A and B are shown apart, each in its own frame.
Chain A
């Protein structure tokens, strides 16, 4: 049996605003094995973004336990969380979040600055992940604001891969892309998953979610469904692709 890379137990997140407290996540429990491709799906307001923040170590749960790669990260300080994010998680955002005036190479190498990787090793690491992300070689030294949306997302994926993280966490990665480009990006995630990477996709779009091998449905702060994608799903997918 493969080891669990993510173990969430009774994760609760409550926001207190004055006298009103809002519980966004209510005792969410699930685990993800190494090498899985999971989609977390839910409508807006369902708590999926909050769950992603906690899974991505951007925020801490109010109560409950979150173990990432064997260690408990649910009660860490801000700087300790930063360390966890830098070494174990690769983020891909809906709006890419590239530095617009920096070159592709520079953008991809940005996480290395905070991981104290020696300068001379950086270029070769960047070239490797850019290739994995399927980036067009001729554009490596272009500024990122000269790229198309699909290319920007590939750069962002390459940036997420560069520290060799335990998980890739993608938040609506196709949200700002047209359908065709979106599909190419999703195929890139599938390819990375086939190479052994654990990928977690957060989306509100059922069609996007069906690219994953497992779908966790979340609604009103609770998991309503957690199932492997069936053949029906896959057929539906193929039908639409065709």
Chain B
């Protein structure tokens, strides 16, 4: 049987019962489009988390103090200890060769006021190189300078959200004086909006020189975090090990499980978060896959009905010379054609839906060509798998029995 004949037979069979073909196809349309949209949502989530994390800076080690342990079993919780000092940061800078930049930070939330407005933001006391390793760039004015660092200057670099809260949008804050915890600081810079939210947002932060933060705000010389940038992605784990060993010996701790600090590796953070989003993608894909499966069963159901209805036709075709293969090919082609057309419509529909969902801004649905190819091949496969049994059943009918069938 020629391809051309197969196609024209398929067309006339499917168009002969438009309502039924359409409804059966609808199952595949819904299945495929939900695969496209939901896998897109999963991949969108992965992409946005990865980009948020890379906003933090690259190849970072984040060293934070552990829990404070006073006498007795009461723990102050991680980060509460004051064991990390600037001397530690200095030692890392001197002794760890795989680390290129080290920045000490002391951050705490304070009430900040300007005239009648006030807000509560994270005030980060830090060093000039913070801007480089944390990807903070300055829109207007300048970041903290070495000079200001040395002189314990009461200067502040503010994020755009802080600017909006204190001054109002589009107001130039440079040169204005704000009060952090009732102490006057002069605004010298405004950072570029980076987006993102929660802990990774630099938009809702104020940066001041580390010394000024220690002397005027915290009243202590300990620091709350050390950021170390490894020389490259390859040396990140080696650097992590070296930093851990160094700090353990400096703090005179022999058992690493009792360490009074923790070293977090940015790559670990990325991989653990992306494993979460991968799980999410698989979960969403599986839910969509179930609807595709149901669509496939719909195809099988329709094909079985068709075979029963067309038993006499099958008998006739066999009587006039059709071989078993001709019959099974015909029914298989009908099933594959249904899923193929359904899959095609589903991809278009799913893609459109993904674009609309992304436009609403609630979630990002990112359609990749891989997911389109996957959806298309899955729909063809569904057609073959669910069309095979009905096609076999049709082709194995004996011509006499089929002709006698009422």
Contacts and interface: CB of A to CB of B under 8 A. Distances in A.
Interface stretch (A19-27, A112-120, A181-189): A112-120
Contact of A85 (B2, B312, B313, B320): B320
Contacts of B16: 101
Contact of B2 (A83, A99, A116, A163): A116
Interface residues of B, number: 25
B246 interface: no
A56 B319 contact: yes
B69 to A, nearest CB: 85
A35 interface: no
A59 B399 CA distance: 8
Contacts of A56: 319
B321 A93 contact: no
B324 A79 contact: yes
B320 A83 contact: no
B4 A119 contact: yes
B151 interface: no
Given A110-B320, A114-B322, A163-B321, A101 B400 contact: no
Interface in A68-84: 78-79, 82-83
B12 interface: yes
B400 A110 contact: no
Interface in B338-376: none
Contacts of A59: 398, 400
Contacts of A86: 320-322
B284 interface: no
Contact of B321 (A53, A83, A106): A83
B323 A114 contact: yes
B326 interface: yes
Interface string B307-324: 000001101111111111
Interface string A24-42: 0000000000000000000
A114 B403 contact: no
Nearest to B310: A99
A53 B16 CA distance: 31
B1 interface: yes
B403 A111 contact: no
Contacts of A58: 319, 399-400, 403
Contacts of A82: 318, 321-324
A126 B193 CA distance: 77
Nearest to A107: B316
B319 A91 contact: yes
A85 B400 CA distance: 13
Interface string B250-261: 000000000000
B321 to A, nearest CB: 2
Contacts of B9: 113
B1 A113 contact: yes
B324 A101 contact: no
Contact of A53 (B2, B313, B400): B400
A87 B323 contact: no
Interface in A94-151: 95, 97, 99, 101-102, 106, 110-111, 113-116, 119
A159 interface: yes
B170 interface: no
Contacts of B403: 58, 93, 97
Given A102-B12, A119-B4, A111 B320 contact: yes
A95 B402 CA distance: 13
B297 to A, nearest CB: 27
A93 B324 CA distance: 21
Contacts of A102: 12
Nearest to A56: B319
B393 to A, nearest CB: 15
A93 B319 CA distance: 10
Contacts of A163: 321
Interface string B1-20: 11011000100100010000
A108 to B, nearest CB: 11
A143 to B, nearest CB: 11
A5 to B, nearest CB: 18
Interface in B279-334: 312-313, 315-326
Contacts of A111: 320-321
B317 A114 contact: yes
A91 B313 CA distance: 14
A242 B325 CA distance: 51
A111 B5 CA distance: 11
A238 to B, nearest CB: 35
A114 B1 contact: yes
Chain A CB count within 10 A is highest, among B12, B313, B319, for B319
A102 to B, nearest CB: 6
Given A102-B12, A113-B9, A97 B321 contact: no
A11 B296 CA distance: 48
A75 B76 CA distance: 92
- By Cβ-Cβ distance, the 3 closest A-B pairs, closest first, are A86-B321, A114-B321, A111-B320
Interface of B: 1-2, 4-5, 9, 12, 16, 312-313, 315-326, 398-400, 403
18 contacts: A58-B319, A58-B399, A58-B400, A79-B323, A85-B320, A91-B319, A93-B403, A97-B312, A99-B313, A111-B320, A113-B1, A113-B9, A114-B1, A114-B317, A114-B320, A115-B321, A116-B1, A159-B320
Interface of A: 53, 56, 58-59, 78-79, 82-83, 85-87, 91, 93, 95, 97, 99, 101-102, 106, 110-111, 113-116, 119, 159, 163
